[in-house]
Amino acid sequence: MPIIRQDDVIQSVADALQYISYYHSPDFIQAMAAAYEREESQAAKDAIKQILVNSRMCAEGHRPICQDTGIVTVFAKVGMNVRWDATMSLADMINEGVRRAYVHPDNTLRASIVTEPASSRRNTRDNTPAVIHMEIVPGDTLEIAVAAKGGGSENKSKLVMLNPSDSIIEWILQTVPTMGAGWCPPGMLGIGIGGTAEKAMVMAKESLFEPIDIHEVRARGPRNTLEEMRLEIMDRVNALGIGAQGLGGLTTVLDVKIKDYPTHAASLPVAIIPNCAATRHAHFVLDGSGPARLDPPDLDLWPKLTYQASAQSRRVNLDTLTREQVAAWQPGERLLLSGRMLTGRDAAHKRISQLIGAGQPLPEGLDFTNRVIYYVGPVDPVKGEAVGPAGPTTATRMDKFTELMLGKTGLIAMVGKAERGPEAIEAIRRHQAAYLMAVGGAAYLVSKAIRSSRVVAFGDLGMEAVYEFEVKDMPVTVAVDARGESVHQTGPAQWRRHIGKIPLTTGA
342 sits in which H/E element = strand 334-343
Give me the amino acid identity at 278. A
> Which residues have C-beta within 8 Å of that of residue 171, sequence separation ≥ 6?
160, 162, 270
Q: How far from 363 is each of 340, 350, 355, 356, 417, CA to CA, in Å?
A: 18, 14, 9, 11, 27
Cα–Cα distance measured from residue 351 to residue 328, given in angstroms and rounded to the nearest whole number: 32
335 sits in which H/E element = strand 334-343
3-state class percentages of the chain: helix first, strand second, coil last, to nearest 5: 35, 25, 40
Give me the amino acid identity at 153. S
The two beta strands, 334-343 and 372-374, are: parallel
Q: Determine phi and psi for 107, rounding to 5 degrees.
A: -150, 70
Which one-letter DSSP state was computed for residue 317?
E
Q: What is the pLDDT of residues 63-119, one digit of tens each?
A: 999 999 999 999 999 999 999 999 999 999 999 999 999 999 999 999 999 999 999
Which one-letter DSSP state was computed for residue 484?
-
Q: Are 394 and 414 within 8 A, CB to CB?
A: no
pLDDT of residue 501: 81
Name the residue among 216, 221, 219, 214 with its Cα closest to residue 235.
214
Helix orientation angle between 42-61 and 26-38, rounded to the nearest 10 degrees:
150
Cα–Cα distance measured from residue 349 to residue 185, given in angstroms and rounded to the nearest whole number: 26
Cα–Cα distance measured from residue 384 to residue 389, given in angstroms and rounded to the nearest whole number: 13
Cα–Cα distance measured from residue 52 to residue 277, given in angstroms and rounded to the nearest whole number: 10
- For the CA atoms of 274, 295, 130, 112, what is the dihedral angle to 10 degrees? -70
Centre a 10 Å sphere on the Cβ of residue 196 and count the other Cβ atoms it contains: 14
Q: Are 130 and 74 within 8 A, CB to CB?
A: yes
Angle made by CA atoms 500, 506, 508, in degrees to the nearest 5: 135
Angle made by CA atoms 243, 391, 276, in degrees to the nearest 5: 40
pLDDT of residue 505: 47
pLDDT of residue 503: 59
pTM to 2 decimal places: 0.94
Q: Domain-by-domain residue ranges, the chain?
A: 1-24+65-150+299-308, 151-277, 314-492
Name the residue among 388, 383, 387, 297 with its Cα closest to residue 19.
297
Cα–Cα distance measured from residue 369 to residue 389, given in angstroms and rounded to the nearest whole number: 27
Centre a 10 Å sphere on the Cβ of residue 165 and count the other Cβ atoms it contains: 6
pLDDT of residue 508: 36
Please, what's the largest Cα pairwise distance for the chain? 75
Per-run averaged pLDDT (10 residues), the chain, 508 residues: 94 98 97 97 96 97 96 98 97 98 97 96 96 98 98 97 98 97 96 98 98 97 98 98 97 98 98 95 98 96 91 95 98 97 97 98 97 97 95 97 98 98 98 97 95 97 96 97 98 95 53
DSSP 69-95: --EEEEEEEEETT-EEE-SS-HHHHHH
Q: What is the pLDDT of residues 101-110, one digit of tens each?
A: 999 999 999 9
Q: Determine phi and psi for 163, rounding to 5 degrees.
A: -75, 150
Cα–Cα distance measured from residue 86 to residue 414, given in angstroms and rounded to the nearest whole number: 51
CATH architecture under which domain 314-492 falls: Alpha-Beta Barrel (3.20)
